[in-house]
Structure 1
Amino acid sequence: MTKWLCVLVYAVALLCTIIPVAQAAVMSIDYGTDWFKVGLIKPGMPLDVALNKDSKRKTQSVVTIRHDERIYGGDAVSLAGRFPHLTYSNLKSIIGKRFDDPHAEEFRHRYVNSMMVDPARNMPVFLHNETQQLSIEELIAYQFQNAKHQASETAGEKVKDVVITVTPFANQYERQSILDAAELAGLNVLSLMHDETAVALNFAVNRDIGKTAENHIFYDMGAGSTVASIVTFSEIEVKEGKKTRTSPQLEVKAVGFDRTLGGHELDVRLQTLLADGFMRINQGRVKQDIKSSDSAMTRLLKEANRVKQILSANTETSASIENLHEELDFKLKVTRAQLEDICKDLIARVRNPIETALEAANMTVDDIQSVVLVGGGVRVPSVQSQLINLIAKNVNGDEAAVLGAAFRGASLSNQFRLSKQFSIKDVTLFPVQVSYKPENKGKEAKAAVDTILFEKFGTIGTRKIMTFNRVNDFEFEVAYGKDADAGLDSIAHVKVSGLTEALKKHKDDIKNSEIPPKVRVTFELTNSGLITVPEATLQIGKTTFKGKKRKKKLTQKKCYLYYCVDKVKSFFGGKDAKEENKEDGKKNETSAESEGTENKTATTEEAKESVSITKVPLVIEYTPTGIIPLSESDKAIAKKRIAELDLLDSKKKLREETRNALETFVYRVQDFLYNDVVEVVATEAEIEKFREMLSEVSDWIYDEGEHADTSVYSSKLKELQSIESPIQHRVKEYNARQENINLVSTTVKLARDFVNGIRAKAEEARYHTEEELEALSDVTEKVEKWMAEQVEVQKKLAETEDPVLVTSKVSEKVRAVEEHLMKLLSKKKPKKIQPKKEPEAKTEPEEKTEPEEKTEPEEKNEAVKEESAQESEAPPVKTDTPTPEEHQHDEL
């Protein structure tokens, strides 16, 4: 039995090492053009924003890479003026864009990073140095890694599950690039989520949703763009088995947006104003235009952002930068009126997204209960003045999206059980169509046919199925509709193969069936807003008849036609390349989609018809077009580089920790050597020599040791610790010596008092044996004798010598006495055995009477009284002074 138990324990231990512990925490990333925030939710920890290393609740979306070291946020911004070509910012504006896209061209105009074209993808990449090319996905992955580190540090565990916010007008390529960046960062994306939908969810969580539907506009002006989403909050009925319950629902009705209206555009225009002001003030004093200086313009952009924030609350301020250009200082007064003048065309566009959304939703301002303002751009007074008639409510714009996304992550994770579950119906902003060439009798038509698959403002998280009448392998294109403003049209080229072979393999079944074969292709618009083609199958139907009599072939055909039209049409589709069910697009992903029944029957008076369906899977070759995602080989290269940088970061962290430990040790010991006790237990020469060593190491740290390796710091620390340790030991023992002597004396006295107290009792009252008391006395005498000897030896030693009376030995001796004493104290008093009463002789009563009944409690009470009476026969003599035994118990 023991053997099997050992095997079981070993197996459990082995499984614990193999199976990773489930991670309960979920994070969110609100990744913006200028800033990103990290949300975190964990069981036992409230939903909140994770702080960065500077204890800030948001971090600049900037990364500097210098000497294989990645520097983030505020530190990277500080280095941008010195190393603008090594600092990467505003990456969100060019993610998923072609090299010749206007946004990429504008980026090259505003920033000095060395951008080149990736010929394989026709996308911009950065030439970081002579040997390294960095994709935009990899640079964003670095920032996602920083976000993951923030969440993990706050949660106290590794966090991988994440919900990332994106703009609702992000197309297939931009969304895929975000997912690729998250993969490189080692994150598991539960879902992408639209910024304003996340804000709306955070808004709804903190309020009660009534039975009456409410419409709210969420207006978000960020650094790069502006979006207005109309969201309806209502209660819906949800069936759970036979029961029906109400659940709050968040439904996005329509969205309006402006891709380039944002706070960053205001910064750039203000930067130009400051640059012109500098040249005007220093006319004739500068040799070169400040706009040709990358470093100066980078510093001006940072100052422009600061000035803009001040002008949000003040009517005027001053821009000031020391040694800006050609060793000239810069100071210029800027007013709010000047900022509004240079941005008046931008201000005129502020209301456009709201008007577009209202028109798309077929609503007016009167249908809206409130407008919720979000984003840093709405703090600009001129922006607020455009919305003054609509403003009814505000939220914490900086954190609403990241908190809503974290809540969404909790609802998607199986680690949480939320008391408030929201049904979310979000929409796609662009229609999606399928282009294919119909086939007739094995011949493909020359002209392609376009079929809209997902309508504009159609619900995401849905599936649709198209049926094709085909006898050969075929291809089709998936693209955005012609009226879409998605940036590019083409999404993917899809090839369905294996059909010809499947038809040949099942030709006998097809020949005997009166139902023609169909090809069913499934399209999915995922919760993250991506178009995928997960499945294609060949459907082969077979009809059989059962009944008393099969009258005529015509009757059979009629029966088949009746059944096929009314029962199978929704399964196979009536026409080539039409949706199987028009309602499919309205179903949420959480609803089970009915894809038909394997066996269906139809009954008439004459016969019973049975239809069985055979599904043959086909091969799908999905090739992205337009913007090509990172290939697996590109990802492998990026992951290898990230792993190398992670290793360097770990080494750097260890080096910094060791250096800090050495530096802290030097400062601490330098103060320690001025302690009065140190002067007693160490010689003057010893102290002086140690001080000189500490001073030399201190100078070395800030001179030659500035770039020393970790091993050098560690060896120097160990060398100093070996000198400090004996002195520290003597100080510790010197301070604790008298306490140790007193401790032994107190312990010895307690033990002796206990023994004397027991021996003073009457022999019949004792329950400790003489051998036990003698053993305690022997141990006590030995410890007392040992202490006396140690005290005498210690007196003969100089205080600068290593002591013999040390705390560790004292604790060992005292523990020996205490163990003996506690053993006796814990000994239980034996129970007294009561003598049995002799039963009284029974005598026959003169008159027979019924005995008096006693209840069980009364019998027990009498027994207790009788025992109590027996114990009280010889009452102890009470005195005011407690006995030694009682005294010992009180003391302990």
Structure 2
Amino acid sequence: MLFLNRCLLAAAVVALLALLCAPVSASVIGIDYGAEWFKVSIVKTGVPLELVLNRESKRKTNALMTFNKGVRHFGSDAVALNGRFPKQTYPALKRLLGQICDSNVAEGYSHEFPVVLKKDAVRGTCLALDEQGNEYSVEELVGMQLAHAKEQAVLYGQESVSGAVITVPPYFNQFERQAILDAAELAKLNVLSLINDETAVAINYGMLRRFENGPEYHIFYDMGAGNTVASLIKFSNETIKVSKYKNKHIIQVEVVATAFDTTLGGQSIDAKIQKDLAEKFTDLNKGKLKGTAFDDPRAMAKFRKEANRIKHILSANTETYASIEGVMEDRDFKVLYTRKELEALSADLVDRVLLPINEVLEKANATMDKINSLVLVGGGVRVPFVQQVLYKSIDESKIVKNVNQDEAAVLGAGFWAATLSKQFKVLEISVKDINTFPIEVVYSPEPKGDKKRPAFHTTVFSNTTLLGAEKIFNFKRQSNFDFELAYKGSGVVIAQGSIGGIDEFVEKHKDQQIQESKIKLGMRLDSNGIVSIKEARGYFDIHNGPKGLFDSLKDGIQSVLGATKDDESGELPGDDVKTADGAANETEAGTLDSEKKFTTEKANLTVAIQWKTLVPLSVEEKTKSRSRLSEMDAEDARRKAREEARNQLETYIYSSKELLWDDDAEAVTTEEQRETLKQRLEEKSDWLDDEAEKAETSAFVKQKREIEDLRGPIDFRRSELRGRDEAVKGLRAVIENSLALAQNVSERENKLPDPSDRLFSVEEMEKITKNVQDAELWLNTKLEEQSKLKSYETPVLQIAEIQRKSRDVSGEVTPLLLRRPKPKKTTSAKKKTEESPKTEEADKTKEGEGATKTKAEEEETTKPTAGDSTSESSSRATNKDHPVKKEL
């Protein structure tokens, strides 16, 4: 009940999308793209946030696809084909995003699934090969799935999609995040933002609640199919001053810390059960098989599917049977499987369940007693041994399941998409998410003589830096130089940059003394978690006079001691950090310092970036991929159109055969007409048997049209026969009622003593009556003509004409119902009093009878009651107390 109430509140919160939003022509969606499933939520005009149902009316779709004879199959269709074509079925593609093909992740994927992978010679990523030898990048395959998700939303919402928010794990690095952005681009999906999974869940959690008693801290423990994540998130109500007299109250969601295990999830349990089933099958058939189940990809795919089913059943039951028909070599397999066996099999995973929770508390320097609750999310938390570990180690009162474990992330993503799109007015939530992996700048100092100086490592974005941060990094250089962006402590280089233009500037001013130089490099960590270089600018202090004694001594000391402290620091001063509140403080170029006698000149420098480790898709590769995917989409559309045309023809033939046995159809046809249609249907049935497999779409349409030419007139005459009497009855009723109304109005008008009070002139009434009588005459004439026709002839009295005539008659008498007399002018009360002294006497008489009310009594009668919902004060109180209306 609590969950239901919160769902209703969520619907109420987002229902303002329909009430307060401006008209738009496109919807926005949220996509929760997981290793095993993907889900889609949608927000559109007039419809609150809701989940998209797929073709099977299910709320989630299997995240895998299969190639079969060049045709792509998604979701449940791919699952059905997986057992037959395991090498052409690609599950859990999310794990390969942003991975080098030589990595442990890619090798583990190849060992777990029998797909054929090949290393891209240029990028080093994995290429998947289909049965025909075609190569597809992981971005292309994921792009196909995202395009399929978008198509589901378009079909469900019946309008185009203008933007999307896609969930990603918080541990996704630069390469993985860029890969999914590239995949979305190939899918022609406008990504408003990526959002971390648990942040999306927190948004869904926060939009259902109010935090009136101060900040709350909750850990969201999410065990999905491929990973486990724990995020500590702070919720609070914040007040923002909008103007001098107005404040705005918003809900703030702030990620404090995040920890994760990238290999602990539902699929790791599936893999253990799969292996155990394969071993049991091999033992049961020892000496009877030509090979082992581990060498048969189809057998392993069947075991994998059965393992997932067993895991779900044992979450609620203590035992079940594993049963597979035709595992390999025409041998079936059936064995009892118990929960104890599953727990023993997963014993090595037990110790890893609590690690993300302990780590996130350590990062936040917090203890569990300071946490309001541990919110369980994801399908993996339903596994009994996972729940046993959690309930044994953590106070049970703190463990809650007050969010939809499967759908909270996708609903939060959809809400965030509506917020970012600016198309809808939604409950305002502020989100502060943090960077996961520290990023540093690595560079060598300015050369000073022959002495080799070590490279500097300076952190630019730490693991507490908010996403969306912009920073300006200072270098004190007087020559071109290179630098690297890398993940701190990992040795993984993101990109290598080269700053040019410094040598040219120094050469240009070689006759002048450059007193000091400062190279500013702008960097940004956007909301997607992608780091980028914005620009580089140089500021050089040019000396305006002869070199003085002090300057000469200073240069001499520096040449002996080497670089100054400033040269070696490379740190980002506080003044040079650009935030959302304003730009960094920088010296204006071209200014003159009278005391130091130098001018500061600005130089526009060049920055060349070369991506390292994993190179994103190039513009040329994206263009080529989009072209190939467009061709596949067009081919899919042609194939679907052909299948639909074939199905329509088959359905039309069957229904036409049934029509020949219909009594009404027999009544409106001759024996010859029915025989002609019967022969035509037999011809088309034979054509389907002989030509359907190789026929084009246009051929199916043509065959159906030839049947329609014969059947169409029969359908028309039958529908006319069935509905004509009822339509005539309706028109007669309208005519009779209209004539009666006209007669009543005429009698009323004729009785008026003053002709000027008439609403209708005599001519108008005569015209209305005549038009109604003409309609009656038309009906009688048509009925007489129709009675002379045979039932198999085209009728002259048709239902459409009868209905149109009925509307015309109704339109004629409408003024009789709507026209009202004009109000007469009234004289003032004062004039009435002077001209009618009897009124005063009547008042005195009433007063004597005690009929006059006192002023207090009159006020009492006009005073609103406590339950009067129409009173202004009551309305204000109601709106004030309602949480949703108050927020609006």
Shorter-normalised TM-score: what interval?
A: 0.7 to 0.9
Moved more, 611-620 or 744-753: 744-753
Would the aligned equivalents of 1:522 and 1:535 in 2 still touch at CA under 8 Å?
A: yes
Whole-angstrom distance in 2 between the partners of 1:469 and 1:443: 19
Closer, same or farther in 2 for the Cα pair 1:270/1:689, shift >3 Å? same
Name the counterpart of 1:60: 62
Would the aligned equivalents of 2:271 and 2:304 in 1 still touch at CA under 8 Å?
A: yes
**Structure 1 vs Structure 2: percent identity of aligned residues?**
39
Name the counterpart of 2:855: none
Moved more, 613-622 or 823-832: 823-832
Q: Does 1:729 align with 2:716?
A: yes
Whole-angstrom distance in 1 between the partners of 2:759 and 2:529: 83
Name the counterpart of 1:567: none
Whole-angstrom distance in 2 between the partners of 1:43 and 1:809: 38
Q: Does 1:467 align with 2:459?
A: no
Whole-angstrom distance in 1 between the partners of 2:542 and 2:242: 36
1:273-330 residue CA offsets vs partner (Å, 9 max, x unmatched): 1111111222232222122111111111000100111111112111101111111111
User: What amino acid is the match of 1:800?
Assistant: Y
What is the 5 A alignment of 1:356-755? 356-388=359-391, 389-390=393-394, 391=396, 392-394=399-401, 395-424=403-432, 426-440=433-447, 447-482=454-489, 484=490, 489-504=492-507, 516-540=516-540, 574-575=566-567, 578-582=570-574, 590-596=580-586, 598=588, 615-691=602-678, 693-694=680-681, 697=684, 701=688, 704-705=691-692, 708-739=695-726
Moved more, 797-806 or 535-544: 535-544
Whole-angstrom distance in 2 between the partners of 1:235 and 1:746: 65
Whole-angstrom distance in 2 between the partners of 1:814 and 1:182: 56
Counterpart secondary structure, 2:457? strand
TM-score in terms of structure 1 length: 0.79
Whole-angstrom distance in 1 between the partners of 2:526 and 2:206: 23
1:400-456 residue CA offsets vs partner (Å, 9 max, x unmatched): 2222222333332322333332241x2223221211111157999564222222233
Name the counterpart of 1:192: 194
User: What amino acid is the match of 2:150?
Assistant: K
Would the aligned equivalents of 1:223 and 1:262 in 2 still touch at CA under 8 Å?
A: yes
Moved more, 196-205 or 340-349: 196-205
Would the aligned equivalents of 2:253 and 2:431 in 1 still touch at CA under 8 Å?
A: yes
Closer, same or farther in 2 for the Cα pair 1:752/1:350, shift >3 Å? closer
Name the counterpart of 1:155: 157
Moved more, 666-675 or 374-383: 666-675
**Structure 2 counterpart of 1:34, from 33, 36, 59:** 36
Whole-angstrom distance in 1 between the partners of 2:584 and 2:112: 53
Counterpart secondary structure, 1:456? coil
Name the counterpart of 1:851: none
TM-score in terms of structure 2 length: 0.80
Whole-angstrom distance in 2 between the partners of 1:320 and 1:61: 24
Counterpart secondary structure, 1:428? coil
Q: Does 1:805 align with 2:813?
A: no
Q: Does 1:349 align with 2:352?
A: yes
1:625-659 residue CA offsets vs partner (Å, 9 max, x unmatched): 01111122211111001111111222233233333
Q: Does 1:225 align with 2:222?
A: no
User: What amino acid is the match of 2:197?
Assistant: D
Name the counterpart of 2:559: none
Would the aligned equivalents of 1:776 and 1:817 in 2 still touch at CA under 8 Å?
A: no
Whole-angstrom distance in 2 between the partners of 1:417 and 1:51: 25
Closer, same or farther in 2 for the Cα pair 1:741/1:526, shift >3 Å? closer
Counterpart secondary structure, 1:396? coil
Q: Does 1:796 align with 2:788?
A: yes
In the TM superposition, what is the alpha-carbon distance from 1:490 to its structure 2 partner?
Answer: 0.8
Closer, same or farther in 2 for the Cα pair 1:805/1:304, shift >3 Å? same
Name the counterpart of 1:882: none
Name structure 1 gaps, 5 residues minimum.
1-20, 546-551, 558-571, 835-853, 866-892
Moved more, 788-797 or 240-249: 240-249
Q: Does 1:294 align with 2:286?
A: no
User: What amino acid is the match of 1:642?
Assistant: L
Moved more, 466-475 or 322-331: 466-475
Closer, same or farther in 2 for the Cα pair 1:91/1:781, shift >3 Å? closer
What is the 5 A alignment of 1:86-105? 86-105=88-107
1:45-80 residue CA offsets vs partner (Å, 9 max, x unmatched): 222322211111111110112234321111111111
What is the 5 A alignment of 1:167-246? 167-210=169-212, 212-235=214-237, 238=240, 240=242
- Quick check: which has more Rg, 1 or 2? 1
Name the counterpart of 2:255: 252
Whole-angstrom distance in 2 between the partners of 1:455 and 1:821: 79
Moved more, 776-785 or 107-116: 776-785
**Structure 2 counterpart of 1:304, from 298, 307, 316:** 307
1:254-283 residue CA offsets vs partner (Å, 9 max, x unmatched): 222222112111111111111111112222
User: What amino acid is the match of 1:341?
Assistant: A
Moved more, 138-147 or 281-290: 281-290
Name the counterpart of 1:884: none
Closer, same or farther in 2 for the Cα pair 1:479/1:686, shift >3 Å? same
Would the aligned equivalents of 1:779 and 1:816 in 2 still touch at CA under 8 Å?
A: no
Moved more, 330-339 or 820-829: 820-829
**Structure 2 counterpart of 1:334, from 333, 337, 341:** 337
1:344-375 residue CA offsets vs partner (Å, 9 max, x unmatched): 11222212222222222222333323222222
Whole-angstrom distance in 2 between the partners of 1:860 and 1:499: 99
In the TM superposition, what is the alpha-carbon distance from 1:578 to its structure 2 partner?
Answer: 2.5
Whole-angstrom distance in 2 between the partners of 1:400 and 1:754: 61
Whole-angstrom distance in 2 between the partners of 1:100 and 1:609: 58
Counterpart secondary structure, 2:615? coil
Closer, same or farther in 2 for the Cα pair 1:241/1:740, shift >3 Å? closer
Name structure 2 gaps, 5 residues minimum.
1-22, 552-563, 838-888
Whole-angstrom distance in 2 between the partners of 1:98 and 1:526: 24
Moved more, 339-348 or 733-742: 733-742
Moved more, 118-127 or 186-195: 186-195
Would the aligned equivalents of 2:575 and 2:584 in 1 still touch at CA under 8 Å?
A: no
Would the aligned equivalents of 1:479 and 1:492 in 2 still touch at CA under 8 Å?
A: yes
Counterpart secondary structure, 2:161? coil
1:715-734 residue CA offsets vs partner (Å, 9 max, x unmatched): 12212221122112222333
In the TM superposition, what is the alpha-carbon distance from 1:793 to its structure 2 partner?
Answer: 4.1
1:569-626 residue CA offsets vs partner (Å, 9 max, x unmatched): xxx99545634434876x8x543343336499999xxx99999865433221111101
What is the 5 A alignment of 1:2-17? none
Closer, same or farther in 2 for the Cα pair 1:807/1:621, shift >3 Å? same
In the TM superposition, what is the alpha-carbon distance from 1:101 to its structure 2 partner?
Answer: 0.7
Moved more, 750-759 or 703-712: 750-759
In the TM superposition, what is the alpha-carbon distance from 1:179 to its structure 2 partner?
Answer: 0.9
Counterpart secondary structure, 1:199? helix
Would the aligned equivalents of 2:87 and 2:114 in 1 still touch at CA under 8 Å?
A: yes
Whole-angstrom distance in 2 between the partners of 1:737 and 1:212: 72
Counterpart secondary structure, 1:57? coil
User: What amino acid is the match of 2:220?
Assistant: F
Closer, same or farther in 2 for the Cα pair 1:780/1:106, shift >3 Å? closer
Whole-angstrom distance in 2 between the partners of 1:348 and 1:444: 52
Whole-angstrom distance in 2 between the partners of 1:644 and 1:496: 42
1:186-229 residue CA offsets vs partner (Å, 9 max, x unmatched): 11222222212222232222222245443322222212122222
Closer, same or farther in 2 for the Cα pair 1:505/1:608, shift >3 Å? closer
In the TM superposition, what is the alpha-carbon distance from 1:819 to its structure 2 partner?
Answer: 6.7
Would the aligned equivalents of 1:94 and 1:103 in 2 still touch at CA under 8 Å?
A: yes
In the TM superposition, what is the alpha-carbon distance from 1:523 to its structure 2 partner?
Answer: 1.7
User: What amino acid is the match of 1:387?
Assistant: L
